[in-house]
Amino acid sequence: MSVHPTAIVDPTASLAASVEVGPYAIVGAHVSIGARTTVGANAIVQGPATFGEDNTIHPHAALGGPPQDLKYKGEPTELVVGNRNVFREFMTAHRGTMGGHKRTVIGDDNFFMAYSHVAHDCVVGNRTVFANGASLAGHCSVEDDVILGGYVVVRQFLTIGRHAYVGGFTPVNRNVLPFVWTSSERETKAWKVNAVGLSRKGFSPEAVAALQKAYRAMHRYRHDRAAMLAALDELAATSPEVRYMVDFVRAAKEGVHGA
C-alpha cells in the first residue's frame, strides 16, 4: 500500500495492499477499497462505501458523501462501486437514503467525466459513459452501455434504457428508449436508432435493421398506443432487441421520449 504522508486514512477504512492514495486525499470511515485502485490528490472518499478493484479516482473527485436530500438524517446508507471505473476530476457520487434503496450502486467499466454526478439511490450499470456535467437526480436507473452527452440532466425516478445515446444538453424528463439516439432542440425527443454505435458494439446488421423497423412503427403509430404496441409485438417475434424495446415501453409509467 502506498499512502502519501499528507493523506488522511481513517483507522476503520480497509485498503488492499496495492492501493495508492495521493497527496492530501481523504479516505473516511468504513470505506473498503479493492486492489490496484488509485485515489488521486485531494480526492475525498467517504463511507460507508465499498469499491472493487482497478478503479481510478482522479484528483478532487468526491465519492460516498451524504445524499443531497432534506429527509436524510445521517442514517448508515452506502455507496457500492464495482471494478475498473474511472472517476474524473470533481465527479460526485452520493450514498443512498432510507427512503430509497439505502444504497447507490455503480457497476463495472464506467467512465465518469469531470463534474458528472450520480445522486442518491441511483443504479448505474456497466460500460456507461457520463460526459462532462452529465447528472442524475435521485432514484434513477442507467442500464448497460448508455452514453450521456455533456450536461445531460435526468429527473428523479427515470430509467435510461441500455445502449441509449442521449445528446448533450438534453433535459430528460421521461424514460429514454434503449438502442435509440435521443436529444433535444426545442423539445426533447428520440431521433433515430443509434445504428453506428450499435454496430460498433457488435450488433448484427439484421438486429439494427429490426430496431429501425420498430422505431419507424413507433413513429407511424405514435398517436395510437394500441396499434403501436401491436406492430411492435409482431416485429418482436423474430428480434430479441425489439422484444426488449416493447417491454421497456410497456413498463415505462412516465412514458418515453419518442413514443
The residues annotated with a catalytic role in the active site are 120-121, 138
Task: Identify the CA nearest to 81 among candidates 103, 58, 114.
Answer: 103
Report d(CA 171, CA 181) in Å as an integer.
Answer: 14
Distances (CA, A) of 57 to 37, 53, 87, 156, 217: 8, 12, 5, 26, 44
CB 132 within 8 A of CB 113: yes
Using the structure block, give the residue that is written with the C-alpha cell 398517436. Answer: 223
Task: Identify the CA nearest to 206 among candidates 232, 238, 184.
Answer: 238
DSSP 1-32: -EE-TT-EE-TT-EE-TT-EE-TT-EE-TTEE
Using the structure block, give the residue that is written with the C-alpha cell 469531470. Answer: 114
Cell numbers of 243, please?
422484444
**Strand 14-15 to strand 62-65: parallel, antiparallel, or no bridges (unpaired)?**
unpaired
Please name every residue paired with 103 in a beta bridge, in sequence order, or none if there are none: 78
First-last CA distance in the chain: 52
